[in-house]
């Protein structure tokens, strides 16, 4: 069986427009993780060598296969179809291997060692005043029917084509388009 | 983060040790301006000199900092070297959110370091490091090294002083993240007196938010309002430099030491001209989606043939007026070059520009010569002003050291008091009329942002001193509430009383939200009591003759109205000295 579905992947194609307001990070922390933070977010904005040289966004580049998934010893990070990761926070033992494995520093560990990375839900995009960010569609590679079935059996709802998060923490979700459940 | 007390870190720079202090008073002092006043009452002493080691240097944020758009400013409270009285200066950059995420409502610096030092603070970190190798460096050079040696790239505020702060100039500001400043009234000298070259605040903590959906919905609404409606356009399009052309047209732009209020050549330094020729990009303070910081560039040959260097320099109306129209410099790149020279020294560009404008006129009238100025100062001659900024910042001779303590002091020694453009401190860029002149001269911060006096001048009001002062008092009270939240004052049209109540309520500050009138009046009164206790006598503030000679678009300045405004404003300010605070329960 062949699939022609797509997944959405956060991109930051116009960072030269960035003014360093951190609205994206604050939005992710606020809406996805229920935090006030510019760190506990799937996207962080840093100056690229001082404010005179502009800004860069640290966010998941949706690797497939993802090094953080390979490094995770408990299955808290699993591969999302099309790139990126599915995070099951209840499985996380705060070892930090995911952050160390990420080649682009896209996984942030808070003081308790909890990892935060982009789930490609796109909720930050609307808060960027200069449209630096966008949610790009990526066509899924064809997969065998049994692989997709295995994913569903693992408790992952659907194929996460519009977000890629796992319902792993109790509580009401005010997620909007994209993410299924906040941390 | 949402707490009904203040979490304050008090650091003794003599020992490098800090003490976290939980302080009551959220329901009466809110934060920002209110908290800074509360902390100065607790740790400061208006009877002692500004550079007494025990005097506090205070940085305070407010209950809404980082939680809503444009809640992006930090209030600095200190005893000013300019007048040895309590003062505030405000700045943004990353400082406010860095303090928020360092889990501090305020940072209080006391004592004097035994050697040049820099302090790094985070939510779980405090260290006083040796900065002997940074002492003497200009602001940008120090900034580059501090970035290299400090943690928290991207999520920190780097505050530092230049040579002006080290030499105790009353015109020394504190540079914040390269493009913002605690500019006015000499906060940089207070830092220098503490031998503190730099303060690095790393915001590395996170906080849980209310589970209710009210907060994110309210955030979304405000974000939409400030980014998708025209109400804030003026700040992020041309920015404040849009004022240059407007004021010039109104005959309200100070030109050549306020010898005039209009100059056809000022079209060369309009906001439009800067945007067309010199604007490189916009930037924002953390937590503000507007991007009102306008960064221009200068490009200069340094080696023949075809070798150039370039620098990035932020500009606004105020520095453009101060080193542009006020000095007769009407080329945007020359203006940026003079701003850059002042910035490197860590000078308040506004004060420095106005001081050099006086020195230029004093030179032309023969009161001073090159024996004092070390080089010729002539209106329009930008190269001289660039060099003079270096002399002023480093205090090259007696003349520059005296001038750096304030233009009036130099005028007292050399003459030329009549044309010293000083209204409490060197004037801001509005020659709009009597109400503005008195509002700056007597205003708490001697700032154009204390009140909307310049706007009042431009509206059709009868010459009624009581009505005008009523406006100033009420407008100050509204603004002191905003600077206690701490909002950028550019957002004053957004955060009306109703929205402020909603924001505080959404974060759980219901008690404060229910008492905003009383809180604002209490903070206003407390700040003034501190100022008056330090010896401020509004009746004695001089209004130099030049301000009475000005002709604006409205006509000649009316000296009787000017005097009536000073009498009435002095009476109202003086009343605070005897008034006990109804809200004084905090400390």
Q: H/E/C letters for each residue in B498-528?
A: HHHHHHHHHCCCHHHHCCHHHHHHHHHHHHH
Contact indicator for A85, A78 with CB cutoff of 8 Å: yes
A23: pLDDT strictly greater than 50: yes
Query: How far is residue B465's CA from residue B351's CA, in Å, rounded to a whole number?
Result: 28
Contact indicator for B347, B392 with CB cutoff of 8 Å: yes
A173: pLDDT strictly greater than 60: no
**DSSP designation for B254:** -
A148: pLDDT strictly greater than 50: no
CB contact under 8 A, B154 and A45: yes
User: What is the average per-residue pLDDT within B540-552?
Assistant: 97
**Does a cis peptide bond (omega within 30 degrees of 0) precede residue B101?**
no
A99: pLDDT strictly greater than 50: yes
Query: What tens digit of pLDDT does each residue of B161-205 get?
Result: 999 999 999 999 999 999 999 999 999 999 999 999 999 999 999
CB contact under 8 A, B154 and A174: no
Cβ neighbors of A92 (< 8 A, separation 6 or more) are: A74, A76, A114, A115
Query: How far is residue B574's CA from residue B528's CA, in Å, rounded to a whole number?
Result: 9
Whole-model pTM? 0.94
Share of chain B above pLDDT 90, in %: 94
Question: Which residues on chain B are in Cβ contact (under 8 Å) with A38?
Answer: 97, 101, 155, 203, 286
Contact indicator for B79, B50 with CB cutoff of 8 Å: yes
pLDDT at A53: 73
pLDDT at A175: 34
Per-residue CA distances from B220 to B63, B217, B226, B496, B507 (Å): 18, 5, 10, 17, 15
CB contact under 8 A, A26 and B66: yes
A145: pLDDT strictly greater than 60: no
| Shortest Cα distance, chain B CAs vs residue A136, angstroms | 23
pLDDT at A91: 97
Helix H or strand E encompassing B106: strand B106-110
The alpha carbons of chain A give a radius of gyration, in whole angstroms, of 16
What's chain B's average pLDDT?
96
Token pair 């439009």 is at which residue? Answer: B272
> Rounded to the nearest 5°, which phi and psi values hold at B250?
-80, 0
pLDDT at A163: 41
Maximum Cα–Cα distance across chain A? 52
Per-residue CA distances from A79 to A14, A120, B518 (Å): 27, 13, 56
Query: What tens digit of pLDDT does each residue of B50-103 get?
Result: 999 999 999 999 999 999 999 999 999 999 999 999 999 999 999 999 999 999
Query: How far is residue B259's CA from residue B390's CA, in Å, rounded to a whole number?
Result: 25
pLDDT at A144: 54
Asked if B95 is an interface residue toward chain A (Cβ–Cβ < 8 A), one would say no
- For B216, the closest of A21, A30, A40 (CB atoms) is A30
Domains of chain B and CATH, by start:
5-202 (3.60.9.10), 236-402 (1.10.569.10), 432-483+515-578 (no CATH)
User: What is the average per-residue pLDDT within A151-160?
Assistant: 34
| Lowest mean pLDDT segment, chosen from A141-150, B1-10, B283-292, B354-363 | A141-150
Question: Which residues on chain A are in Cβ contact (under 8 Å) with B105?
Answer: none
Query: What tens digit of pLDDT does each residue of B127-150 get?
Result: 999 999 999 999 999 999 999 999
The two beta strands, A85-87 and A43-47, are: unpaired
B572: pLDDT strictly greater than 90: yes
pLDDT at A176: 33
Instruction: Please name the residue ranges forming H helices in B155-302.
Output: 163-166, 187-193, 214-228, 233-236, 242-249, 271-277
ipTM above 0.85, yes or no: yes
CB contact under 8 A, B284 and A35: no
Instruction: Please name the residue ranges forming H helices in B242-299.
Output: 242-249, 271-277
pLDDT at B525: 97
Confidence of residue A178 (pLDDT cuts 50, 70, 90): very low
B10: helix, strand or coil: strand
Confidence of residue B376 (pLDDT cuts 50, 70, 90): very high
Token pair 């944020």 is at which residue? Answer: B61
B116: pLDDT strictly greater than 90: yes
Q: If you measure CA to CA, which chain A residue comes closest to B210?
A: A34
Maximum Cα–Cα distance across chain B? 70
CB contacts under 8 A, A 116-155 vs B, are 127, 129-130
- For B213, the closest of A38, A45, A174 (CB atoms) is A174
Contact indicator for B96, B71 with CB cutoff of 8 Å: yes
Question: Which residues on chain A are in Cβ contact (under 8 Å) with B100?
Answer: 36
Cα B80 off chain centre by: 12
B148: helix, strand or coil: helix
Query: How far is residue A4's CA from residue A141's CA, in Å, rounded to a whole number?
Result: 7
Confidence of residue A143 (pLDDT cuts 50, 70, 90): low
Domain boundaries, chain A: 6-153
User: What is the average per-residue pLDDT within A139-145?
Assistant: 69
Query: What tens digit of pLDDT does each residue of B223-252 get?
Result: 999 998 888 887 889 999 999 999 999 999
Per-residue CA distances from B204 to A111, B88, B198 (Å): 8, 27, 19
Interface test with B, best of A32, A49, A52 (most B CBs within 10 A): A52
Interface test with A, best of B155, B160, B297 (most A CBs within 10 A): B155
| Shortest Cα distance, chain B CAs vs residue A34, angstroms | 6
User: Domain A6-153 belongs to what topology?
Assistant: Alpha-Beta Plaits (3.30.70)
- For B291, the closest of A21, A52, A54 (CB atoms) is A21
Confidence of residue A49 (pLDDT cuts 50, 70, 90): low
How is residue B544 written in tokens?
């130099």
Where is pLDDT greater, at B384 or A3? Answer: B384
pLDDT at B153: 84
A156: pLDDT strictly greater than 60: no
Confidence of residue A170 (pLDDT cuts 50, 70, 90): very low
Residue pairs spanning A and B at CB distance below 8 A? 96
Other C-beta atoms lying within 10 Å of the C-beta of residue B304: 6
Query: How far is residue B309's CA from residue B311's CA, in Å, rounded to a whole number?
Result: 7
Query: How far is residue B332's CA from residue B507's CA, in Å, rounded to a whole number?
Result: 45
B453: pLDDT strictly greater than 70: yes
Give B535's Cβ-side CA count (13 Å radius). 11
pLDDT at A147: 43
B272: pLDDT strictly greater than 90: yes
Asked if A105 is an interface residue toward chain B (Cβ–Cβ < 8 A), one would say no
């Amino acid at each position: 069986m062949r699939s022609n579905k797509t997944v959405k992947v956060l991109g930051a194609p116009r960072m030269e427009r960035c003014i360093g307001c951190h609205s994206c990070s604050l939005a992710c922390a606020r809406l996805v993780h229920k935090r006030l933070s510019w760190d506990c977010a799937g996207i962080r904005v840093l100056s690229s060598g001082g404010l005179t040289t502009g800004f860069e966004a640290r966010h998941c580049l949706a690797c497939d296969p993802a090094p953080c998934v390979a490094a995770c010893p408990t299955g808290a990070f699993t591969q999302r179809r099309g790139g990126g990761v599915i995070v099951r926070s209840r499985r996380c033992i705060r070892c930090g291997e995911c952050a160390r494995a990420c080649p682009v520093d896209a996984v942030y560990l808070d003081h308790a060692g909890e990892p935060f990375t982009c789930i490609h839900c796109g909720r930050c995009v609307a808060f960027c005043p200069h449209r630096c960010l966008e949610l790009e569609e990526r066509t899924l590679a064809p997969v065998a029917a049994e692989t997709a079935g295995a994913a569903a059996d693992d408790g992952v709802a659907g194929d996460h084509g519009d977000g890629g998060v796992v319902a792993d923490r109790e509580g009401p979700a005010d997620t909007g388009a994209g993410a299924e459940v906040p941390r | 983060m949402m707490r009904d007390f203040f979490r304050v870190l008090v650091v003794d720079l003599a020992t490098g040790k800090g003490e976290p202090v939980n302080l009551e008073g959220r329901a009466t002092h809110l934060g920002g301006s209110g908290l800074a006043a509360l902390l100065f009452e607790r740790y400061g002493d208006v009877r002692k000199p500004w550079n007494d080691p025990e005097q506090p240097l205070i940085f305070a944020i407010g209950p809404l900092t980082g939680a809503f758009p444009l809640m992006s400013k930090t209030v600095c409270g200190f005893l000013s070297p300019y007048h040895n009285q309590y003062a505030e200066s405000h700045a943004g950059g990353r400082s406010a959110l860095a303090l928020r995420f360092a889990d501090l409502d305020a940072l209080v610096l006391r004592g004097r370091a035994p050697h040049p030092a820099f302090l790094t603070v985070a939510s779980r970190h405090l260290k006083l490091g040796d900065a002997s190798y940074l002492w003497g460096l200009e602001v940008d050079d120090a900034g580059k090294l501090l970035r290299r040696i400090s943690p928290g790239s991207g999520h920190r505020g780097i505050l530092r002083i230049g040579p002006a702060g080290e030499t105790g100039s009353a015109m020394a500001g504190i540079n914040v993240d390269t493009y913002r400043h605690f500019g006015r009234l000499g906060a940089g000298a207070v830092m220098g007196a503490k031998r503190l070259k730099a303060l690095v605040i790393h915001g590395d903590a996170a906080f849980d938010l209310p589970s209710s959906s009210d907060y994110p919905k309210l955030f979304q609404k405000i974000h939409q309002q400030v980014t998708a409606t025209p109400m804030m356009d003026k700040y992020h399009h041309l920015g404040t430099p849009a004022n240059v052309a407007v004021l010039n047209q109104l005959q309200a732009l100070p030109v050549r030491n306020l010898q005039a209020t209009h100059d056809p050549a000022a079209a060369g330094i309009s906001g439009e001209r800067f945007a067309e020729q010199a604007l490189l990009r916009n930037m924002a303070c953390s937590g503000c989606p507007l991007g009102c910081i306008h960064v221009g560039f200068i490009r200069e040959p340094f080696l023949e043939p075809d070798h150039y260097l370039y620098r990035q320099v932020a500009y606004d109306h105020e520095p453009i007026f101060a080193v542009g129209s006020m000095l007769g410099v009407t080329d945007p790149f020359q203006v940026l070059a003079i701003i850059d020279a002042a910035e490197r020294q860590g000078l308040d560009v506004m004060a420095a520009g106005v001081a050099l404008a006086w020195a230029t006129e004093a030179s032309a009238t023969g009161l001073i010569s090159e024996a004092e100025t070390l080089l010729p100062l002539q209106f329009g001659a930008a190269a001289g002003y660039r060099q003079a900024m270096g002399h002023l910042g480093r205090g090259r001779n007696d003349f520059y050291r005296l001038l750096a303590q304030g233009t009036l002091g130099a005028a007292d020694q050399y003459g030329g008091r009549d044309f010293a453009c000083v209204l409490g401190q060197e004037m801001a860029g509005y020659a709009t009329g009597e109400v503005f002149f008195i509002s700056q001269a007597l205003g708490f911060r001697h700032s154009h942002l204390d009140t909307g006096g310049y706007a009042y001048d431009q509206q059709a009001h009868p010459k009624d001193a009581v009505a005008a002062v009523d406006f100033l008092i009420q407008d100050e009270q509204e603004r002191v509430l905003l600077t206690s939240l701490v909002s950028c004052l550019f957002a004053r049209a957004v955060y009306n009383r109703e929205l402020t109540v909603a924001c505080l309520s959404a974060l759980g500050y219901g008690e404060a939200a229910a008492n905003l009138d009383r809180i604002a009046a209490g903070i206003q009164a407390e700040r003034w009591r501190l100022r008056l206790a330090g010896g401020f006598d509004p009746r004695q503030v001089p209004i130099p003759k030049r301000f009475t000679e000005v002709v604006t678009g409205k006509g000649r300045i009316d000296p009787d109205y000017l005097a009536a405004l000073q009498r009435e404003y002095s009476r109202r300010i003086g009343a605070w000295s005897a008034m006990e605070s109804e809200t004084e329960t905090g400390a």
